[in-house]
Amino acid sequence: MSMNSQGRASRADNIPGNADSIETFTGHRGLEQQEKLIFEVGDPSRTGVDFADPGKFDPAFGGLERHAPIGLPGLSEPEAVRHYSRLSRKNYAIDMGMYPLGSCTMKHNPRLNEKMARVPGLADVHPLQPQSTVQGSLRLMQELAHWLKTLTGMPAVAMSPKAGAHGELCGLMAIRAALEARGNARKTVLVPESAHGTNPATAALCGYGVKAIPADSRGRVDLAAFEAELNEDAAAVMITNPNTCGLFENEIAKLADAVHDAGALFYCDGANFNAIVGRVRPGDLGVDAMHINLHKTFSTPHGGGGPGSGPVVFSEALAPFAPLPYVVEENGAFKIKEHPDADDTALGRLTAFHGQMGMFIRALAYMMSHGSDGLRQVAEDAVLNANYVMASLKDVMTPSFDGPCMHECLFDDRFLKGTGVETLDFAKAMIDEGFHPMTMYFPLVVHGAMLIEPTETESKDSIDTFIGMMRSLTRAAKSGDTARFSGAPYLAPLQRLDETRAARNPVLRWTPPEQRAAAE
Identify residues 277-316 at the interface with another protein (CB under 8 A).
278-281, 284-285, 301-309
Q: Give the shortest CB-222-to-another protein separation in angstroms.
A: 16
What SS3 state is found at 269?
A: strand
Element of type H or E holding 378: helix 357-393
Closer Cβ to another protein, 46 or 417, answer by number: 46
Residues 184-223 that bind another protein (CB under 8 A): 196-198, 200-207, 210
Residues 220-249 that bind another protein (CB under 8 A): 247-249
Cβ-proximal residues to 431 (8 Å cutoff; 6+ apart), any chain: 92, 437, 488, 489, 491, 492
- Count of residues binding another protein (CB under 8 A)? 203
Closest CA to 315 of 281, 342, 340, 341: 281
CA 104 to CA 99: how far, in whole Å? Answer: 9
Residues 345, 396, 404, 465: which binds another protein (CB under 8 A)? 404
* Residue 413-442 contact track with another protein, rule CB under 8 A, x = bound: --------------xx--x----xx----x
CA 36 to CA 299: how far, in whole Å? Answer: 33
CA 429 to CA 156: how far, in whole Å? Answer: 46
Report the residue count for the chain: 520
**Residue 63 CA: distances (Å) to CA of 60, 66, 334, 360, 366:** 8, 9, 46, 44, 52
Burial class (CB in 10 A: 0-12, 13-18, 19+), 1: exposed
Closer Cβ to another protein, 91 or 479, answer by number: 91
Residues 384, 422, 469, 482: which binds another protein (CB under 8 A)? 384
Question: Within 13 Å and on the Cβ side, how many CA atoms surround 164?
Answer: 25
Residues 71-110 that bind another protein (CB under 8 A): 71-75, 77, 80-81, 83-85, 87-96, 99, 101, 104, 106, 108-110
Closer Cβ to another protein, 9 or 112, answer by number: 112
Residues 311, 358, 443, 454: which binds another protein (CB under 8 A)? 358
Closer Cβ to another protein, 136 or 417, answer by number: 136
Q: Give the shortest CB-3-to-another protein separation in angstroms.
A: 35
30: left (phi over 0), alpha (psi -120 to 50) or beta: left
Closest CA to 299 of 32, 24, 105, 79: 105
With binding defined as CB under 8 A, does residue 339 bind another protein?
Answer: yes
Q: Give the shortest CB-265-to-another protein separation in angstroms.
A: 15
Residues 437-496 that bind another protein (CB under 8 A): 437, 442, 456-460, 462, 487, 489, 492-496
Strands 156-158 and 312-314: antiparallel
Closer Cβ to another protein, 198 or 474, answer by number: 198
What SS3 state is found at 427?
A: helix
Closer Cβ to another protein, 37 or 228, answer by number: 37
Closer Cβ to another protein, 417 or 447, answer by number: 447
* Residue 116-145 contact track with another protein, rule CB under 8 A, x = bound: xxxxxxxxxxxxxxx-xxxxxx-xx-----
Q: Give the shortest CB-370-to-another protein separation in angstroms.
A: 5
Q: Give the shortest CB-14-to-another protein separation in angstroms.
A: 28
Q: Give the shortest CB-73-to-another protein separation in angstroms.
A: 6
Q: Give the shortest CB-484-to-another protein separation in angstroms.
A: 15
Closer Cβ to another protein, 12 or 72, answer by number: 72
Residues 15-74 that bind another protein (CB under 8 A): 35, 37-39, 42-49, 51-54, 57, 59-74
Closer Cβ to another protein, 11 or 509, answer by number: 509
Closer Cβ to another protein, 1 or 64, answer by number: 64
Residues 157-186 that bind another protein (CB under 8 A): 162-166, 168-169, 173, 176
DSSP state at residue 165: H
With binding defined as CB under 8 A, does residue 344 bind another protein?
Answer: no
Structure-derived torsion over alpha carbons of residues 432, 453, 451, 288, reported in degrees to the nearest 10? 150
Closer Cβ to another protein, 3 or 112, answer by number: 112
DSSP state at residue 339: S
Q: What is the DSSP string of 345-374?
A: --EEESSSSS--HHHHHHHHHHHHHHHHHH
Element of type H or E holding 157: strand 156-158
Q: Give the shortest CB-91-to-another protein separation in angstroms.
A: 4
Q: Give the shortest CB-264-to-another protein separation in angstroms.
A: 17
Q: Give the shortest CB-189-to-another protein separation in angstroms.
A: 9
Q: Give the shortest CB-57-to-another protein separation in angstroms.
A: 6
With binding defined as CB under 8 A, does residue 322 bind another protein?
Answer: no
Closer Cβ to another protein, 7 or 55, answer by number: 55
Burial class (CB in 10 A: 0-12, 13-18, 19+), 514: exposed
What SS3 state is found at 143?
A: helix
Closer Cβ to another protein, 479 or 511, answer by number: 511
Closest CA to 362 of 103, 106, 118: 118
Closest CA to 381 of 482, 278, 488: 278
